[in-house]
Chains A and B, each alone.
Chain A
Amino acid sequence: MAKQSVLGLYQNAEYAAEAGDALQAAGLTKDDYDFLTGAPYPEGAFGERHVSHRLYVFPFVGALCGLTAGILLTSMTQMAYPLVTGGKPILSLPPMAIVTYEGTMLGAILFTVLGILFESRLPRPSLGLYDDRITEGYIGVIVTCEDNQAGRVEQVLTQAGAVDVKRGEAS
């Protein structure tokens, strides 16, 4: 069955939070709806589900790759050109420090940028259901539901105080 998106628009943030409760009471789960805001509200302000992430994995992997590349490059260079400088060992850490640090940083940054694109599912071909009034302080409650539930969802959102309700194909 095709999925539908229903967007309820609220002038008052409290009504939007209550809409979330009403949707749960109507049998939807917290994974079925989300809140669209023009500013980041504190976590849990709408009683929404906790959004966990593992974004730190990207820079961590990137940093490991960069560090490995840096260590390999410096140590192999020193092995290939074994010049004894100032009586120090051929493989000594100070000359390797800058390159490995820089490699680590560059790897971490590169993977973080890739992580942003991947984790945010970018680029998004279409914006999905949206209303510009959200940029003016309105709160959007967007619900993804089965086709046959859309009518009931619209009713719940309206009863919760939505000033406008829109429906469209789920993206």
Chain B
Amino acid sequence: MANGNGHITPVEVDLTDQGITEHLSHKVFAFDRRLAYAMAGLGVLFILGIIGFVMRAVGDGFSDASRHEWGYYAAMFAFLLCTAGTAPLVAVAFRWTKNHWRRPLSRASEMFALVGILNLLWFIPLMALLPAIDLNGDGHLEVGVDRRTVWFEGPIGAPLWWDMAAMIGLVVCGLAILWVSARPDMSVVAARGSGWRAALMRKLAMGWQGTKRDWRRQQAFLAMLGGFYFMLLILVHTLVSLDFALSLVPGWKDSILAPHHALTGIQAAAGTVLVTIFVMRTWGGYGRYIGLDPFWAFSKVLLGLTLLWGYFWFSEFMTFWYGRDPTEQSVIKLVMFESYRTAFLLNFFFSFVIPFGLLLWNGVRKSVLGPTIAGASVIIGAFFMMVRLYVPAFNIRDVGAHSIADFEAGVGQAIPSQLLPVTPDVWDVFIILGGLSGTALIFLLGTRLLPVMSMWETKEGLLYMLVRPLLKGRYMVLGKPD
């Protein structure tokens, strides 16, 4: 809403506590035909994904010999980790910095913690596909015979069970953040609804009353859990990228891959949340809560992340390219310039060129559509990055070799067969569709239980927001509690 002098007044100023409670509780219980159709469509696609997985599992099984068939499955897992798995960090980060504009997007980003359950299930088959560190099982680690990993020679259960434990920790932490944050809204939904959903929310709210003690503890626990989520998320990105990509490619040693992977995750998570609030605003009926502010402010963060992405990629590329080491040359040929050139170009274009080219302009940043397009772009870019990292890594059979530079091409081949690009087959396409639709479906199912807009944070925002006249204009005054 413009005030006549070019200044923007946020849409939230017209809200009331009662209006927020009534509208958002109603949204949870009301039947929405469009939403029902969307969920049915997503359900069908998700079933296709399950069919794709079952066919792949029955046809190829889970063994070292069939690992190359699971490359796109692994890429999809990493992509889900980057988008839905990292999205709760958005709520955590902007709560720490006490931004007012975060309020419309906090719950939406936290709700992606529910998708963590899908991600955890997705991870189980990958455990069966990751080769042992001691490949010949002789109790000794030997270069050129066994795998070199970040786990060295220990400890018990490495890497599979430690990877799994980290994943479980991340999912539990994400769900705990969602629960602690949503308890006040659960009690409202329970009081205003009926049926099994209200009963479930009443149980989960666990007697929330809203005393000063309740609020104080909630804030403290959210801050602590947020810190742990961030610390664990970085660990999970590190472990996944090192165990399921880098250590499967003989000779690949790269200290910036894991940070680059984590950064791509944070960038994709920002894109995921931007696209989500755009959908909520445009088609979800939440326009009265989501003004221009979240898009405008978030676009600056996304621009910063995009610039960092470019810098991280350049650092990764530069050392390999300038060093002229045969192994490093082979690695960048594999994941960037030869075998997966198309995936790399799409990755670079969508993760860097498009968002940077768009968000450079103030007019684009100060809009709803511009940051959303940039957000969608970085999601696509992250997908192609995961494809170019994980599909080639899973295609290498000789994981105990000294270097991929030693691989020899067959007669009449320019590139060794293990380094040739793998194109997705129909089951891979089903699996990818299943992953995308499963994420959206779980999110939408979550909105049938909990308000996708945090009621208490929206109401809290109203306490600190005021529009006051100054000379000939009217301006928003924002309070800062501490």
Contact = CB atoms under 8 A, between A and B. Distances in A.
Interface of A: 34-43, 46, 48, 51, 53, 55-56, 59, 73-74, 77-78, 81, 83, 85, 94-95, 98-99, 101-102, 105-106, 108-109, 112-113, 115-116, 119-120, 122-128, 130, 132, 134-137, 140, 142
Given A40-B218, A102-B162, 19 more contacts: A38-B21, A38-B210, A38-B455, A43-B481, A51-B213, A55-B221, A73-B155, A73-B156, A78-B154, A85-B153, A98-B235, A105-B231, A115-B221, A116-B180, A116-B217, A116-B221, A122-B207, A137-B459, A142-B211
B288 interface: no
B239 A98 contact: yes
Contact of B210 (A37, A95, A120, A126): A37
A108 B226 CA distance: 12
Interface residues of B, number: 60
Given A98-B162, A101-B235, A108-B228, A38 B209 contact: no
Nearest to B18: A136
A108 B457 CA distance: 27
Nearest to A58: B224
Interface stretch (B26-34, B116-124, B168-176, B469-477): B168-176
Q: SS class of chain B's interface: helix, strand, loop or mixed?
A: helix
A40 B172 CA distance: 25
B27 to A, nearest CB: 15
B224 A137 contact: no
Contacts of A39: 17, 456-457, 459-460, 462-463
B211 A95 contact: no
Interface in B176-202: 176, 180, 184, 187-188, 191-192
Contacts of A43: 212, 216, 481-482
A6 to B, nearest CB: 15
A35 B211 contact: yes
A42 B154 contact: no
Given A109-B228, A116-B176, A74 B17 contact: no
B424 to A, nearest CB: 32
Interface of B: 16-18, 21-22, 139-141, 150-156, 158, 162, 165-166, 169, 172-173, 176, 180, 184, 187-188, 191-192, 206-207, 209-221, 224-225, 228, 231-232, 235, 239, 455-457, 459-460, 462-463, 481-482
Contacts of B176: 109, 112-113, 116
Contacts of B460: 39-40
Nearest to B459: A39
Given A34-B212, A40-B219, A122 B206 contact: yes
Nearest to A54: B220
Contact of B209 (A40, A77, A109, A127): A127
A109 B172 contact: yes
B206 A124 contact: yes
A37 B51 CA distance: 49
A38 B206 contact: no
A119 B217 contact: yes
B140 A99 contact: no
A120 B217 contact: yes
A171 to B, nearest CB: 9
Contacts of B192: 132, 135
Contacts of A40: 215, 218-219, 456, 460
Contacts of A74: 154-155
Nearest to B231: A105
B334 to A, nearest CB: 26
Contacts of A142: 211
Contacts of B231: 105
Nearest to A97: B150
A102 to B, nearest CB: 6
B18 A137 contact: yes
A42 B206 contact: no
A105 B169 contact: yes
A109 B225 contact: yes
B224 A59 contact: yes
Contacts of B173: 109
28 contacts: A35-B211, A38-B17, A38-B459, A39-B456, A39-B463, A40-B218, A41-B463, A42-B463, A46-B212, A59-B228, A73-B156, A77-B154, A78-B155, A83-B153, A99-B155, A101-B235, A109-B232, A113-B172, A116-B217, A120-B206, A124-B207, A127-B209, A128-B209, A135-B21, A135-B187, A135-B192, A136-B17, A142-B211
Contacts of A113: 172, 176
A105 B481 CA distance: 31
Nearest to B154: A77
Contacts of B481: 42-43
A102 B151 CA distance: 13
B191 A132 contact: yes
Identify the 9 closest CB pairs spanning chains A and B, nearest first. Answer: A137-B17, A124-B207, A95-B152, A42-B481, A39-B459, A77-B155, A136-B18, A40-B215, A39-B460
Contacts of A77: 154-156
Contacts of A36: 209-211
